[in-house]
Amino acid sequence: MNDRILNFLKIIALIECLFGFILLLIEIKDYLHLPTPQDIENQFGEIVTWFKYKENCYKNFFLSSLLIITGLSFWINRKLYWGMTQVLVITLFFIVTINLWVANLFHIRISIFLGILSLIIFIYLEIKICNSLFLQIIGISKMTKWLFFVGGGLSCVIWLLLR
């Protein structure tokens, strides 16, 4: 692989690791100092909806761990790094789409249209990436590509199941 591309990928992997560790440390600090819903209910008599509880940190733990694992996978295996990057991108795309839909920032028809449009663009980019020369140089098989795509779907399901 070209040295310039390899150096660029090393920088990206380092940024992923650093960003993941920083986010993980922030969430651990929040988790240690946040109350549980039972504490708030005992103090105020009811659960406050706008308040952040310990249970709200689990999804962020998952995302920062996924970011750290993706960054570290660069030094383990290039194929694993490509796959973990795909899993991370699929998960982040899913989270952004779900949050736009749930937050009702737009009218429901506009949200559905934006979700479908972004899904079509995402699938087009994935097809272009899967047929790229970069993957032929690394030597990733179609089975491996599909395996990491399914892994991205499982990552989205895990994120949904976390509280």
Question: Of residues 81 and 50, which shows the higher confidence score?
Answer: 81
Q: What is the pLDDT of residues 8-33, one digit of tens each?
A: 888 888 998 999 999 999 888 888 87
Position with higher pLDDT, 158 vs 51 = 158
Residues near 124 by beta carbon (within 8 Å), at least 6 away in sequence: none
Name all contacts of 11-15 with Cβ < 8 Å and 24+ positions apart: 12/74, 13/70, 13/71, 13/72, 13/74, 13/75, 13/81, 14/71, 15/71
User: Given pLDDT bands bounded at 50, 70 and 90, which one contains residue 90?
Assistant: confident
Q: What is the pTM of this model?
A: 0.76
In sequence order, the 6+-apart residues with CB closer than 8 A to the CB of 15 are 71
